[in-house]
Amino acid sequence: MRKICSIIAAMVLVASGGVAVADDGSGDPTAVKKEDDGKWLDKEGIPTYKITADGNVDWFTYSGYRRYHSDCHVCHGPDGMGSTYAPALKDSLKTMSYGDFLGVVASGRKNISTAQENVMPAFGDNPNVACYMDDLYIYLRARSNEAWGRARPGKHEDKTEAYTKAEDSCMGKK
CATH number of the domain enclosing 52: 1.10.760.10
- 58-98, pLDDT tens digit by residue? 999 999 999 988 888 677 777 776 677 777 678 888 888 99
SS3 content of the chain, % helix, strand, coil (to 5): 45, 10, 45
Asked if residue 11 has pLDDT above 50, the reply is: no
Number of domains in the chain: 1
Question: Whole-number mean pLDDT of the chain?
Answer: 81
Question: 69: buried, middle or exposed (CB in 10 Å: 19+, 13-18, 0-12)?
Answer: middle
28-55 pLDDT, tens digit per residue, is 898 989 999 999 999 999 999 999 999 9
Q: How far is CA 166 from the centre of its chain?
A: 16
Domain that residue 43 falls in: 2-17+25-170
